[in-house]
């Protein structure tokens, strides 16, 4: 029976240079020829993921924006799914948090929209296309985001979290990616939208039972996907939150072809050892 094999990109399928290796490409295509469904599930926007999709040679559905976008670049008949934070909600959150925002941004296919733009944001979130940066207060924008990254002054982090929980909790959720000396790094996104929710949609689309769903991930945005998979596998280099919910852990890191090695053993691809 065919499997759904979902791979995160940064920190999982890609090495430290953010590149695919020939070994990974070979293993994934071998499994595709056996009839399995290989899907990329990434926090990158579409523009930051499509080159990796094409490099592998995929023709399956591509999940970007941490589940906010579901589309098949090779099939125009596939009904593209894209979910956005409502404009009035974005404006409300920005208005409340403006006084303690260090920086904030969100991206579309071609443009990065930012408030107090900081190039360091690109270090936190790979694949962001900053060729065009429009820097404005978010209340001046009429573009709805799939998610927003906020750098919040450290002393205001509890205020930020409390406001979302109390006033926008029915619509929004947030992830804390890390804490720097002067600020916390948050991703704000639509409640109930995640890589996991997107992959549940694909289980139905490809008619694959949950027990045949394998996922690989390393970051905080992979927790739901690894937790909910039939068989969620954390990378050796994964954060503690992912390791805690995983059913197994790769023996090698993302910089050592961890996913490729794991799949060779799991599917007994002895010819590829």
Task: List Cβ neighbours of 60 (8 Å cut-off, separation of 6 or more).
Answer: 37, 38, 39, 72
Per-residue pLDDT band for 126 (boundaries 50, 70, 90) equals low
- Per-residue model confidence (pLDDT) at position 117: 87
- pTM of the entire predicted model: 0.90
Residue 251's CATH number: 3.40.50.1000
Determine the structural domain holding residue 118 and report its residue range. Answer: 87-190
Does one domain contain both 183 and 103? yes
φ, ψ for residue 137, nearest 5 deg: -70, 140
242 vs 197: CA distance, rounded Å = 17
φ, ψ for residue 234, nearest 5 deg: -85, 145
pLDDT in tens, 170-215: 999 999 988 999 999 999 999 999 999 999 999 999 999 999 999 9
Task: Give per-residue burial for 82-115: e unless 16+ CB within 10 Å, then b.
Answer: ebbbeeebbbbbbeebeebbbbbbbbbeebbbbb
- Per-residue model confidence (pLDDT) at position 239: 96
9 vs 162: CA distance, rounded Å = 31
Does one domain contain both 175 and 197? no
Which of 139, 174, 190 terminates a domain? The answer is 190
100 vs 184: CA distance, rounded Å = 11
């Amino acid at each position: 029976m065919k499997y759904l094999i979902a791979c995160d990109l940064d920190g999982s399928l890609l090495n430290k240079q953010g590149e695919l290796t020939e070994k990974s490409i070979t293993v994934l295509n071998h499994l595709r020829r056996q009839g399995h469904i290989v899907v990329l599930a990434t926090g990158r926007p579409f523009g930051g993921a499509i080159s990796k999709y094409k490099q592998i040679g995929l023709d399956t559905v591509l999940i970007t924006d941490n589940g906010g976008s579901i589309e098949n670049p090779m099939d125009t008949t596939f009904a593209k799914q894209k979910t956005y934070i409502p404009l009035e909600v974005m404006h409300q959150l920005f208005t409340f948090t403006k006084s303690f925002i260090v920086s904030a941004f969100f991206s579309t296919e071609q443009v990065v929209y930012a408030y107090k733009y900081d190039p360091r944001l690109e270090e936190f979130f790979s694949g962001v296309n900053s060729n065009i940066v429009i820097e404005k207060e978010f209340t001046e924008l009429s573009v709805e985001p799939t998610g927003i990254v906020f750098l919040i002054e450290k002393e205001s982090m509890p205020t930020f979290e409390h406001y979302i929980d109390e006033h926008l909790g029915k619509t929004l959720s947030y992830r804390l990616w890390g804490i720097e000396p002067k600020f916390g790094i948050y991703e704000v996104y639509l409640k109930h939208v995640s890589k996991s929710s997107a992959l549940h949609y694909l289980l139905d689309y490809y008619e694959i039972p949950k027990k045949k769903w394998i996922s690989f991930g390393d970051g905080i945005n992979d927790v739901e996907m690894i937790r909910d998979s039939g068989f969620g596998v954390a990378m050796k280099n994964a954060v503690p939150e992912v390791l805690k919910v995983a059913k197994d852990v790769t023996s090698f890191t993302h910089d050592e072809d961890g996913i490729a090695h794991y799949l060779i053993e799991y599917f007994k691809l002895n010819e590829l050892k």
